[in-house]
């Protein structure tokens, strides 16, 4: 009897200790699981660096957007990677952002790439010549602006099956041997004659599914004494702007008081109406980008400094 009671107490004690051990271990497991979830989430949301690419938007503008880039450092490798995003059904077609599309004809292959002194020579297969007449200039604009966004690439030379492309395949428009941003993009001609023609490019804002992106428009006018910096600001303060579906967030009463270019830096001095709130010292991101992208497209600078009545407000370092 006594022996049975002792065994019962031992059993109850052991069971109690086991239950207490389980209770003690359970919170620890939860903490470990929570830490594991955080780690998995960080790994899941990690992405490669985004690279600038110019694709057709839903209005058929050649527009600036981004896709995941390769883990490569050389300009040639980056160019090879981004070209796959420009080709219809290319290797990166599955990551093209919503609202955008590639433009180089499906089946086009890059036969060779060579970079020498800032000139990227691309040898395409003959399928590139199958481009629709409506898009042949836009295809070149997309190529030029995408590839010259890569550090180390200043211009592009296009070959087809080893032969230099000297004219557009449908319109037969003659092409320069080297293609750079002087070629223009989303071109608009406001000309009254054939003399004293100059151009400038303004980046506007467009929207798709509540996401803003930037659309460059090159305008051609008759003016041989064009101050491109001043006219860019004037364009961005115009109301209405170029087209109803392109926007500028710059206040119509914003004035560029003066500007200075020195040592790869441009300082733009505005009145206080450039501020998003004149009681504060902030400028809308869309204003910063439209001005910075437009200005850096015309002059070679590495920084754009925004000043309000001689006080520095924001510095944009260009990539």
Residues whose CB is less than 8 angstroms from the CB of residue 39 and which lie 6 or more positions away in sequence, other chains included: none
Question: Is the pLDDT confidence value at 105 over 70?
Answer: yes
pLDDT above 70 coverage of the chain, percent? 83
For 187-220, b where at least 16 C-beta lie within 10 A, e where not — what string?
eeeeeeeeeeeebbbbbbbbebeeeebbbbbbbe
- The contacts found for 273-277 with CB under 8 angstroms, 24 or more apart, are 274/250, 274/306, 274/308, 275/308, 275/313
Question: In whole angstroms, what is the distance from residue 309 CA to residue 271 CA?
Answer: 6
Alpha helices for the chain (secondary structure H):
2-45, 75-86, 136-147, 228-237, 285-298
Q: What is the mean pLDDT of residues 117-143?
A: 97
What local confidence, expressed as pLDDT, does residue 28 receive?
Answer: 38
Contact predicate 82/156, CB 8 Å? no
Give the up-direction half-sphere exposure of residue 106: CA atoms within 13 A in the CB hemisphere.
4
Question: Is the pLDDT confidence value at 24 over 60?
Answer: no
Residues whose CB is less than 8 angstroms from the CB of residue 29 and which lie 6 or more positions away in sequence, other chains included: none
Q: What are the pLDDT digits (tens) for 309-319? A: 999 999 999 97
- The contacts found for 198-203 with CB under 8 angstroms, 24 or more apart, are 198/222, 198/223, 198/224, 198/226, 200/226, 200/228, 200/231, 200/232, 200/298, 201/294, 201/297, 201/298, 202/232, 202/235, 202/236, 202/242, 202/290, 202/294, 203/64, 203/289, 203/290, 203/293, 203/294, 203/297
Q: For residue 163, report the phi and psi dihedrals to the nearest 5 degrees.
A: -105, 135
Neighbour tally for 158: CB within 10 Å: 21
Q: What are the pLDDT digits (tens) for 81-96? A: 999 999 999 999 999 9
Pairing of strands 188-190, 197-208: unpaired
Nearest one of 178, 216, 176 to 200, comparing CA atoms = 216
Question: In whole angstroms, what is the distance from residue 295 CA to residue 273 CA?
Answer: 19
Question: Is the pLDDT confidence value at 193 over 70?
Answer: yes
The DSSP output letter for 302 is S
Q: What is the mean pLDDT of residues 124-151?
A: 97
Question: Is the pLDDT confidence value at 139 over 80?
Answer: yes
Nearest one of 93, 152, 145, 155 to 122, comparing CA atoms = 155
16: left (phi over 0), alpha (psi -120 to 50) or beta: alpha
Question: Is the pLDDT confidence value at 192 over 60?
Answer: yes
Q: What is the mean pLDDT of residues 150-173?
A: 97
Question: Is the pLDDT confidence value at 33 over 80?
Answer: no
Q: What is the mean pLDDT of residues 135-144?
A: 98
In 3-state terms the chain splits into helix, strand, coil percentages (rounded to 5) of: 35, 30, 35
Average pLDDT, the chain: 86
- Where does the pLDDT of residue 266 fall: very low under 50, low under 70, confident under 90, or very high at 90 and above? very high
* Tokens of residue 272, six digits: 């206080």
């Amino acid at each position: 009897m006594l022996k049975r009671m002792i065994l019962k107490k031992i059993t109850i004690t052991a069971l109690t200790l086991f239950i207490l051990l389980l209770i003690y271990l359970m919170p620890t497991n939860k903490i470990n699981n929570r830490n594991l979830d955080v780690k998995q989430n960080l790994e899941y949301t990690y992405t490669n660096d985004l690279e600038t690419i110019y694709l057709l938007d839903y209005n058929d503008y050649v527009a600036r957007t981004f896709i995941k880039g390769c883990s490569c450092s050389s300009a040639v490798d980056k160019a090879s990677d981004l070209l796959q995003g420009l080709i219809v059904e290319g290797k990166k077609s599955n990551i093209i952002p919503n609202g955008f599309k590639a433009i180089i004809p499906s089946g086009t292959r890059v036969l060779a790439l060579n970079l020498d002194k800032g000139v990227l020579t691309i040898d395409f297969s003959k399928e590139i010549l199958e481009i629709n007449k409506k898009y042949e200039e836009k295809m070149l604009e997309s190529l030029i602006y995408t590839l010259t966004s890569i550090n180390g690439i200043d211009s592009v030379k296009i070959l087809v099956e080893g032969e230099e492309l000297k004219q557009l395949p449908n319109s037969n428009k003659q092409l320069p041997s080297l293609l750079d941003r002087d070629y223009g993009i989303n071109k608009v001609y406001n000309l009254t004659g054939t003399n004293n023609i100059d151009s400038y490019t303004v980046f506007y804002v467009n929207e798709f599914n509540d996401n803003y992106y930037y659309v460059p428009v090159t305008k051609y006018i008759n003016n041989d004494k064009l101050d491109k910096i001043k006219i860019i600001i004037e364009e961005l303060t115009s109301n209405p702007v170029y087209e109803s579906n392109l926007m500028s967030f710059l206040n119509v009463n914003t004035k560029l008081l003066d500007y200075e270019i020195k040592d790869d830096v441009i300082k733009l001095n505005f009145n206080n109406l450039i501020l998003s709130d004149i009681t504060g010292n902030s400028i809308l991101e869309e204003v910063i980008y439209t001005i910075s992208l437009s200005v850096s497209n015309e002059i070679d600078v590495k920084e754009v400094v925004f000043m309000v009545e001689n006080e520095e407000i924001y510095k944009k370092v260009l990539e």
